[in-house]
Amino acid sequence: MRVLFCTTGGLGHLMPLRPLASALRCRGHEVAWVTAPDALPVLRDEGFDLFAAGPTFEASRRQFREAHADAALLTGERLSAYAFPRLFGAVLGPAMLEGVDQAVRHWLPDLVVTEPAALAVPLVCETLGLRHLTHGYGLRPPRAYLENALRFFAPQWRARGLDAPAGGSPHRQLDLDIAPPSLQPAAARSHDGVFRYNAHRPAPQVPFALPGGLRAALQRSSARGPRLYVTFGTVFNRSAALIAAARAAARLGGTVVVTAGADGDLQGLAGLGAHVHVHRFVDQAALLPHCDVVVSHGGAGTMLGAAAHGVPHLVLPQAADHFRNGRALCSAGAGRTVEPEWQTEAAVTASLSAVLTSAALESGASALAREMAAMPDARAAAMAVERWNASAPCRTTDAR
């Protein structure tokens, strides 16, 4: 098969699809990727054919802010409900359409794998009679988010003489779900046409995946105190809540690891003590086996990574899907949240202390890890894609 992957530019939307892409390549299939131009470097060493579509991550956010100034007045989940349809439906969908169309016509895939927010893909595939499947990056976006996003994107469908899909489902033909059922909403658990697999399955330990000094500190601290990992990903890494979380962890931790991302405020994270290790990036999969608690904004990748390793989680939600992710962890008994109005150093310290001493949360996180360990792996997902593609060959396309 020739399989084209398409994602919007945020790494949180791209990285969860990479295990399947690699598994397909290992099984002898040709794989290409189309995404934002500034996301391509993270894929450059993977051996995929690469195509750019749409603006850079920062440019797309700037276009959103300029076109929808009302967003500046919103916070929390109200901002999430407002931003998702407009960012992905009004800004990124139209902006990516030409690049996705050109990539498909040039590379001639047999099928396309897309994440839910890449709205250009269903339209291109419908136009050309090409099959596509949807691959999640976390919990399923609320149906209302997708319905509203498709309303903003509907003019692009009409311009091609087509009716925009109704019901928030853009001609989804197969779903690959990487979240365990206990974290998904009840409606998503019963959805037909779903293959669930674990894209965050713990890998064999690589001895030198972590910096030597950090590796030694983590090994020493296992008997000296808790090992805490504080991260706000690559989008919310300049939040004041990250500074509060790092300072709270510094008060309590035997060893604290803080990641600041490419543009994080290192100065604000300085002077927290010799036991606090601040890095731009750390291999999260290599770090998590050494952690007792994760403190984060509740991004999907961090949530599922910690869950796969059985690490309790303290979530300080900022926007996007963070609030839904935090509630899901609380419902599963694997984490706690601190709402934005309470994200002070003192409040985070108290909540973190409670997480560290909670046998119930440790048990809930372990149960979640067992659930994820029982899910099929990326190789099984690749085989499911093979079966699905063989079951109904795609129509002849204009691109061919």
Q: How many CA atoms lie within 13 A of 344 on its CB side?
A: 4
CATH number of 212-373: 3.40.50.2000
Confidence of residue 396 (pLDDT cuts 50, 70, 90): very low
Residue 181 has a CB neighbour count (10 Å cut-off) of: 14
**73-109 tens-digit pLDDT:** 998 899 999 999 999 999 999 999 999 999 999 999 9
3-state secondary structure of 196: strand
Q: What is the pLDDT of residues 336-379, one digit of tens each?
A: 999 999 999 999 999 999 999 999 999 999 999 999 999 999 99
What is the rounded distance in angstroms from the CA atom of residue 12 to the CA atom of residue 232? 12
Where do we find the tokens 């809540």? 241
| Nearest-angstrom CA–CA distance, 115 and 178 | 12
For CATH 3.40.50.2000, the residue range(s) in the chain are 2-200+375-391, 212-373
Query: For 75, what's the count of Cα atoms within 13 Å in the CB-facing half-sphere?
Result: 5
The domain over range 2-200+375-391 is classified in CATH as 3.20.80.10: no
Out of 161-165, 289-293, 295-299, which region has the weakest mean confidence (pLDDT)? 161-165
